[in-house]
Amino acid sequence: MKKYTTGQPQAQPAWRWVGERGLRVATGSATLARYESLMSLNLADVEDIIPADDSLLLILRRAASVSPALSLALAGPLPDSRSGAGRPRHEIAVAYGGAAGPDLQALAKQTGMSEAAYIEHHAASEYTVAFLGFQPGFPYLRGLPAALQAARRASPRQRVEPGSVAVGGVYTGIYPAGGPGGWHIIGRTGAALFDPKRDVPVLLMPGDRVRFVPA
Amino acid sequence: MIEVLRSGLCDLVMDLGRPGQGAYGVPAGGAADPGALAAANCLVGNDAAAAGLEIILSGPRLRFPRGGVLALTGARFAASRSSGAPVAWNETLVLAAGEVLTLDRPEAGCRCWLALRGGLAVPRVMGSRSTFLPSGFGGHCGRPLQAGDVLRCGMPENDMKLLRATPPPAAMEGCLRVVAGPQAAQFDDAGLAAFFGSPYRVDAASDRRGLRLAGAPVSHARAELRSQGVLPGAIQVPPDAQPIILGWDGPVTGGYPVIAGVITADVPRLAQLKPGDAVRFVTIEVEAARALAAVPWEIKELA
């Protein structure tokens, strides 16, 4: 890769290739800021940018290489990181436990608290959408208290109901559609997380704030 | 217009997909060999991005009540026309009103693409006419074709000629070419030796979301990995040490280490892999992969 001597004070972020079109860029805690700064540039050679946990995946157009403009953009300074103020806040009504949350009882036991306490803590936190993935519109929500975290189920469920609110590792999330799933299901919401016919097909966008309200 | 007399195993309306919506968790999808669909469209005077059919393993029987100009690309299927005229691949075909086209089984590979002059006029969803089966939207009612379905065409926009297409040279045998992946260092010597030194068999549980492979275990350190963006061709290795090549309708993020990524020029070969096929892998450099991706189909007028 060419080296550019631009005098930029910041080191070029580390990247690695996924095939010859996928550029995985380590972004640490500045993932969303870097995502927004790259999106605002509308770079011609970039077909898509997928935010994830602590990295972005840039998908280059077929046969495109890393242009000087992209290289500069990756090395450039970030705008002030967002505090989250001004981001949309969503309240998601959840029916916790019972048939709607078949894993709540075992999960509460595993974490050493009562079901009521687990629900109370889950609903008391404010979450931030880190990124979407797994399924269209599936939000990975950051902010799950450490006491509520649990490794994914040893064997995934064959069928998770649409709207299932779940816990997997450090995240809580919501399954927009039915299908197999490996997270612990603690409740269900009627909120429509994904509708391809809407102008904006997803209910929650990276950076949005979320609170769960027991129904 | 197309009337479906008998559906194939899984006939899907596809165009070049809906790239650019990964942040919504929506993969680009689209034709598994976009070059082949684009070439078929070119043969009938359509824009490259018009919608056609992607047909796999066992083809449909289709009636063309008003006739039509069509083209087939990809794997050659045993095929016949009610007129008795030959069914050529990679050429402009002109069907008379009422003709029936029957596609049976592929001679080699598994997928072919059918383009019809005017393009299939299903509604665009999220900017594309491609079927996205995992969420059931796009294409014809978000599902594979069924007997009795009627597909309408758009108005032809471009002039057309009788043409023949030739795909870029690609070995249909030999190794799939890959670029070493972001977590290649997480794999131990035994895992790397297995992956690059032994054949893998395509498992029956494979579809447009991913090709599951079975073979020597690709061992790696089971470190907890954060979710990362992935794209078609990325080869993930879950804890069971059996690799999965992510497909066109796969998830946009994944939490398993990625040992390698299939190069764009070999994605058409991924599109032709079927359960039971054997695959091997070999690495090439990013620049070489990019040069291969730039080689187009050749289109010539029929003499």
Rounded to a whole number, what is the distance in Å from the CA of A102 to chain B's nearest CA?
Answer: 24
Contacts of A186 (CB under 8 A, 6+ apart): A96, A97, A101, A103, A104, A107, A118, A119, A122, A165, A166, A167
CA distance A169 to A184: 10
pLDDT reported for residue A84: 60
| Per-residue pLDDT tens digits for A147-162 | 999 988 877 888 999 9
Contacts of A133 (CB under 8 A, 6+ apart): A50, A52, A140, B25, B227, B229, B251, B252, B253, B254
In contact, B290 and B152? CB cutoff 8 Å? no
Q: Tell me the sheet residues that pair with B301.
A: B163
As for the ipTM of the complex, it is 0.94
Q: If you write DSSP's letter for every residue of chain B in order, what string do you get? A: -EEEEE--SS-EEE-S--TT-GGGT------SSHHHHHHHHHHTT--TT--EEEEESS--EEEETT-EEEEEEES-EEEEETT-----SSB-EEEPTTEEEEEEEESSSSEEEEEETT-B-PPPBTTB---BTTTTBSTTTTS---TT-EE-B----S----EEEEPPP--SSSPEEEEE-TTGGGB-HHHHHHHHHS-EEE-SS-BTTEEEEESS---B-------EE--TTEEE--TT---EEE-TTS-SEE-S-EEEEE-GGGHHHHTT--TT-EE-EEE--HHHHHHHHTPPPEEEE--
Residue keyed to tokens 């393993």: B57
CA distance B67 to B65: 6
Mean pLDDT on A181-210 = 96
CB distance A206–B23 less than 8 Å? yes
CB distance A63–B264 less than 8 Å? yes
Contacts of A42 (CB under 8 A, 6+ apart): none
pLDDT reported for residue B223: 65
CA distance A88 to A71: 32
Residue B224 has pLDDT above 70, yes or no: no
Domain with CATH 2.40.100.10 in chain B: 175-297
pLDDT reported for residue B184: 84
Mean pLDDT on B263-292 = 95
Smallest Cα–Cα separation from A189: which of A92, A98, A122? Answer: A92
- The percentage of chain B sitting over the pLDDT mark of 90, rounded to a whole number, equals 88
pLDDT reported for residue A139: 98
**Which pLDDT band, with edges at 50, 70 and 90, does A1 fall under?**
very low
Q: If you write DSSP's letter for every residue of A54-86 in order, what string do you get? A: SEEEEEEPTT----HHHHHHHHSPPPPPP-STT
Highest mean pLDDT among A3-7, A85-89, B101-105, B253-257: B101-105
First-last CA distance in chain B: 28
**Pairing verdict, β B278-279 and B200-202:** antiparallel
**Which pLDDT band, with edges at 50, 70 and 90, does B171 fall under?**
low
**Pairing verdict, β A89-96 and A184-188:** antiparallel
**Pairing verdict, β B52-56 and B111-116:** antiparallel
Residue keyed to tokens 């998601």: A92
Q: Which two tokens stand for residue A115?
A: 């079901």
CA distance B147 to B301: 35
CB distance A194–B251 less than 8 Å? no
CA dist B271 → A176, B12, B232 (Å)? 28, 14, 11
pLDDT reported for residue B173: 65
- Mean of the per-residue pLDDT values for chain B? 95
**Pairing verdict, β B61-64 and A179-181:** unpaired
Position B276, amino acid: G
Q: Which of A18, A132, A136 is the closest to B258 by Cβ?
A: A18
CB distance B253–A131 less than 8 Å? yes
Count the helix, strand and coil residues of chain A and give each as a percent rounded to the nearest 5: 20, 35, 45
Q: Which two tokens stand for residue A116?
A: 């009521």
In contact, A95 and A123? CB cutoff 8 Å? no
Smallest Cα–Cα separation from B37: which of B130, B145, B161, B101? Answer: B130
Mean pLDDT on A48-58 = 95
Mean pLDDT on A32-58 = 94
- Which chain B residues have a beta carbon less than 8 Å from that of A196? 26, 125-126, 132, 135, 137-138
Rounded to a whole number, what is the distance in Å from the CA of B284 to chain A's nearest CA?
Answer: 10
Q: Which two tokens stand for residue A75?
A: 């090395």
CA distance B35 to B31: 9
| Per-residue pLDDT tens digits for A59-109 | 999 999 999 999 999 888 876 655 566 789 999 999 999 999 999 999 999
| Per-residue pLDDT tens digits for B85-101 | 999 999 999 999 999 99
3-state secondary structure of A208: coil
CATH homologous superfamily of B175-297: Cyclophilin-like (2.40.100.10)
* Rg value, chain A, Cα: 19
Point out the least confidently predicted range of A11-20, A123-132, B7-16, B253-262: A11-20
CB distance B229–A50 less than 8 Å? yes
- The percentage of chain A sitting over the pLDDT mark of 70, rounded to a whole number, equals 91
Sign for the CA dihedral angle at A93, A98, A101, A103 comes to positive
Chains A–B, number of C-beta pairs less than 8 Å apart: 152
CB count within 10 Å of CB B141 equals 15
Q: Which of A17, A35, A169 is the closest to B286 by Cβ?
A: A17
Q: Which of A20, A55, A56 is the closest to B290 by Cβ?
A: A20
In contact, B245 and B213? CB cutoff 8 Å? yes
pLDDT reported for residue A156: 80
Q: Which two tokens stand for residue A80?
A: 């002030």
Residue B284 has pLDDT above 50, yes or no: yes
pTM for the model stands at: 0.93
| Per-residue pLDDT tens digits for B141-169 | 999 999 999 999 999 988 889 999 999 98
Helix axes A31-41, A68-75, angle to 10 degrees: 150
CA distance B264 to A17: 13
CA distance B258 to B237: 6
| Per-residue pLDDT tens digits for A108-117 | 999 999 999 9
| Per-residue pLDDT tens digits for B46-71 | 999 999 999 999 999 999 999 999 99
Rounded to a whole number, what is the distance in Å from the CA of A177 to chain B's nearest CA?
Answer: 7
Point out the least confidently predicted range of A32-46, A123-137, B171-185: B171-185
In contact, B135 and A177? CB cutoff 8 Å? yes
Residue to mutate among A16, A17, A18, A134, with most B CBs inside 10 A, is A18
Residue to mutate among A46, A48, A140, with most B CBs inside 10 A, is A48
pLDDT reported for residue B220: 87
Mean pLDDT on B249-273 = 95
**Which pLDDT band, with edges at 50, 70 and 90, does B18 fall under?**
very high
**Which pLDDT band, with edges at 50, 70 and 90, does B183 fall under?**
confident
Q: Within its chain, how far is the Cα of A172 from the centroid?
A: 10
